[in-house]
Structure 1
Amino acid sequence: MPRPLSFLVNITGVGNHPGAWTLPGRAPDAYIDPEHHLRVARTAERGALDGVFLADIPALYHGIAQGPGQALEPSMLLTYLAAATERVGVVFTGSTTFNEPYNLARRVLSLDHASHGRAAWNAVATFFPDAARNFGLDAPPDHDTRYRRAEEFTGLVHRLWDSWEDDALIADTSGARFADPDRIHATDHTGEFFDVAGPLNVPRSPQGRPVTLQAGASPQGLAFAGRFAEAVYTPLLDAEAARGYRARLAEQAHRYGRDVSGIRLLPGLTPVIGSTEAEARTRFATLEAGVPEDARQIGRVARTLGLDPATTDPEAPLTDARLSGPPPDRLPTGFFRTHAEIARREGLSLAELAARTIGGHRSVVGTPEQIADDITTWWSAGLVDGFTLLPDALPDGLEVFVDHVVPILRARGVFRHGYTGTTLRDHLGLPVPAPSYEQKGATAL
């Protein structure tokens, strides 16, 4: 199958830029309005984009004084979106730190059946202290423990999803046989973190198994992706970073007997689009004006690097001494590492680095043709398989992308004119995974 160009859309509340909610005509409570999310999902479907993605942190957004975060529980909201759409995929973020494998496996597989095979699970090893305190912990587990738990958790979820063989559900009304217990396998798992008997009480997915995503960029996250992920969402700010990441991902996949061609690399991208480049830059300036001065892009990038924006010259090249501090507590280490690496490699100042990124991910400010050029260049070079779009403001940021960038990509022959399949695996060009029946024994219904 030819490698497709793929797009997920991360519905970051009312937009990836923190000033999005202040633009004229915005409803301040749109981030908790299901209809707002549905408008975004239907726009993505109109453009034949692969899926919509909901990130999730189970805690109050730390910047709530200055703008909205994300609030609605993702599996509930995605079920609503799936019921009101037909083809677009729905990507659920579920923490391996603060969930139990059986409940999460059942929830995601239920979403997959409700959407007729359009669901994915973004497995994240949540590290936020505020979230830990909401689950009875003084602090989150350390990094290594979180990823050991994540690996056991994810392997167990996959086994639970494979509890039922494809032909276990017989539904023979004449013979009064509903299911074959010999084709429904117990899990019988005992590990470092979990004891789960299984099997799952939900038959196998319409797409074989829900797609597994991973969003970590640390060495442990990369190893996790090589073992389990079928798509990866990560911050990559330049071509060299993307080339190096794909090479490391290929090494990790090979380590687990996999080929990197079975993993879709979909880094974050925030397009800021105008009919002219000047109009696009005016849009960005308007977004920046919607947040306090100390929360604007230069300040946000400084804090990503653990620097004090008040004492950092924005025009001076960032030195090794400036870039060698510990990552900030409230941000993933991958964001810190990605920003520090490109600043060190290219000798960038804080202002130059801030011009390339919004919300930790790469940003391109320009016309639809310039956005399409950028996407085509990265994809044609084999650096990525597509992008996870984080529109600057929603819903209009995505509407402009679908109405003006997608037609250019189609005219160039690099993006489909419509869906050619019905499942998220179809959209992403991923094969149906063979079921893993290494579980011992069978269970009766």
Structure 2
Amino acid sequence: MTRTLTLNAFLMTTGHHESSWRLPLSDPLAGTDIGHYIRLAQLAEKAKLDAIFFADGPVLQGPVAQRPAGILDPVTVLSAIAPLTRHIGLIATASTSYNDPYNLARRFASLDVISNGRAGWNVVTTAGDAAARNFSQSAQLDSSQRYRRAEEFLEVVKKLWDSWEPDAVVADKGSGIWADPGKIHSAAHIGEHFQVAGALNVPRSPQGHPVIVQAGASAAGKEFAGRWAEAIFTAHQSFESARDFYQEIKDKAAGNGRAAHSVKVLPGIVPILGSTEAEANELADSLDELILPEYARNTLAQQLHVEPAILELDRELPAELENTVAKEKSTSRRDLILDLGYRRKLTVRQIIRELGPGRGHQTFSGTPEQLADRIEYWFKAGAADGFNIMAPVLPAGLEVFTEQVVPILQQRKLFRTEYEQSTLRGNYGLPVPANNRLGLAF
């Protein structure tokens, strides 16, 4: 079977560039407009993309003065989109730190059934004390505790998703038997963090269960991904970094007895496109000029886990930052920013401009043909199985990508021209997972 690209549309309010909402044609209230997301989903589906994806977190993201911060619950949004689409995958982020397995398993199983097998769950452990304080905790759990909880969380969720055997529902009106009790199984889980007795109350979907996605790039995150993830969302500024990460993830999957092709590695890329390089660069500059440096410095300080006062806009990063963060803090994005600043000797102001389009994800400015070249090279040279497309401005950026880049990739036979499968798992080229509870007693 010929290997082809996996392409997702990562959707975020008015676009990924932090100043996108300030453009004349942008709707600053788009983040809470379901019609906006329905139109984007249909646009992505028209282009035969694999999935749309929503990030999320159980905390008000700040500073709210800098960019739109009103964000709807993504499972709710995707449930509204599901009946108005037929093929596009529907991936939402949810935290194992601030949910219970039964409720979350049910929410995603419901989305999977509603969409006829198109759901995916981006599993996160959620770092930060601000989120913890929203859930009656004074501070976050440290990284090792979060991942231990996440491991058990996934064990329970998989048991729940396997509650129903594929043919459990009989629906025989003549005999009066709706389901075979012997094919519906109790979770019967007793562990360190969770005690879950019963079976899920949602039947199995056509794809078995939602696709498991993961985005952590820390050492613990990569170990977790090697065991559980079927797709990895990741951020890389250089080909070399992406290639090394790609190989490490494939090796970790193999170390857990899994085939290398059973996990998709999908870096994010922010495409700023023009008919010429000069036009693309002009668009990039016009967006960057709208960034408010003082607000952006506060965000950068949050990402680096330092006080804003030590970051002087027209000076390089302080040399001692590499050793100032406690181990329980989230470090993968921080490490990417430090590498960017130190390696290229950028000032804080320059780093802010680099991060403005995509918060550390690769930004590409150029023509559609040049972007297709970049995507093809990373794909064929072992750095990616595909990409999360992070349009800097929505809907315009997604329109340009789908109308001008996708046809080039299709002409090169790197991407589908029609959907061949009806489920997200099918479009990703992943098998339907075995039900590990077949034959077990209730």
What TM-score bracket applies, with the shorter chain setting the length? over 0.9
How far does the alpha carbon of each residue in 1:346-394 deviate from its partner, in whole angstroms, 9 at most, with x for none? 5543448954873121111111111111111101112111011111011
In structure 2, the partner of 1:209 is 209
Q: Does 2:243 align with 1:243? A: yes
Structure 1 residues 432-441 or 80-89, which shifts more? Answer: 432-441
Secondary structure of 1:370's aligned partner: helix
For structure 1, the 5+ residue unaligned runs are none
Give the Å deviation of 1:172.
2.1
In structure 2, the partner of 1:71 is 71
Instruction: Provide the rounded CA distance (Å) in 2 between the counterparts of 1:66 and 1:268.
Output: 22
Instruction: Provide the rounded CA distance (Å) in 2 between the counterparts of 1:222 and 1:152.
Output: 16
In structure 1, the partner of 2:194 is 194
Q: Does 2:170 align with 1:173? A: no
In structure 1, the partner of 2:325 is 326
In structure 2, the partner of 1:146 is 146
Give, as a single letter, the amino acid of the residue that structure 1 aligns with 2:334.
F
Give, as a single letter, the amino acid of the residue that structure 1 aligns with 2:325.
P
TM-score scaled to structure 2, two decimals?
0.92
How far does the alpha carbon of each residue in 1:37-62 deviate from its partner, in whole angstroms, 9 at most, with x for none? 11111111111001111111122121
Are the equivalent residues in 2 in contact too, given 1:301–1:354 (CA < 8 A)? no
Q: Does 2:343 align with 1:349? A: no
TM-score scaled to structure 1, two decimals?
0.92
Instruction: Provide the rounded CA distance (Å) in 1 between the counterparts of 2:271 and 2:182.
Output: 52
In structure 2, the partner of 1:84 is 84
Give the Å deviation of 1:11.
1.0
Are the equivalent residues in 2 in contact too, given 1:234–1:268 (CA < 8 A)? yes
Are the equivalent residues in 2 in contact too, given 1:305–1:323 (CA < 8 A)? no
How far does the alpha carbon of each residue in 1:58-110 deviate from its partner, in whole angstroms, 9 at most, with x for none? 22121211211351111111101112111111101111011000010011000
Give, as a single letter, the amino acid of the residue that structure 2 aligns with 1:349.
L
Q: Cα RMSD over matched residues?
A: 2.4
Secondary structure of 1:388's aligned partner: strand
How far does the alpha carbon of each residue in 1:216-273 deviate from its partner, in whole angstroms, 9 at most, with x for none? 1111111111111000101122121112212221232233221221000011111111
Are the equivalent residues in 1 in contact too, given 2:63–2:299 (CA < 8 A)? no
In structure 2, the partner of 1:107 is 107
Instruction: Provide the rounded CA distance (Å) in 2 between the counterparts of 1:352 and 1:122.
Output: 28
Is the alpha carbon distance of 1:426 and 1:313 closer, same or farther for their aligned partners in structure 2, counting shifts above 3 Å? same
Is the alpha carbon distance of 1:168 and 1:419 closer, same or farther for their aligned partners in structure 2, counting shifts above 3 Å? same
Is the alpha carbon distance of 1:70 and 1:367 closer, same or farther for their aligned partners in structure 2, counting shifts above 3 Å? farther
Give the Å deviation of 1:303.
6.2
Give, as a single letter, the amino acid of the residue that structure 1 aligns with 2:210.
P
Give, as a single letter, the amino acid of the residue that structure 1 aligns with 2:331.
T
Structure 1 residues 351-360 or 74-83, which shifts more? Answer: 351-360
Give, as a single letter, the amino acid of the residue that structure 1 aligns with 2:220.
Q
Give the Å deviation of 1:274.
1.3
Secondary structure of 1:111's aligned partner: helix
Q: 1:336 aligns with which of 326, 334, 339?
A: 334
Are the equivalent residues in 1 in contact too, given 2:164–2:185 (CA < 8 A)? yes
Percent of matched pairs sharing the same residue = 41
In structure 2, the partner of 1:20 is 20
Are the equivalent residues in 2 in contact too, given 1:238–1:342 (CA < 8 A)? no
How far does the alpha carbon of each residue in 1:266-315 deviate from its partner, in whole angstroms, 9 at most, with x for none? 1111111112111111211221222313345x886676445768755768
**Equivalences, count:** 438
Secondary structure of 1:63's aligned partner: coil
Are the equivalent residues in 2 in contact too, given 1:306–1:328 (CA < 8 A)? no
How far does the alpha carbon of each residue in 1:166-203 deviate from its partner, in whole angstroms, 9 at most, with x for none? 11112222332211111111111011100001211111
In structure 2, the partner of 1:260 is 260
For structure 2, the 5+ residue unaligned runs are none
Secondary structure of 2:175's aligned partner: coil
Are the equivalent residues in 2 in contact too, given 1:237–1:339 (CA < 8 A)? no
Is the alpha carbon distance of 1:180 and 1:83 closer, same or farther for their aligned partners in structure 2, counting shifts above 3 Å? same
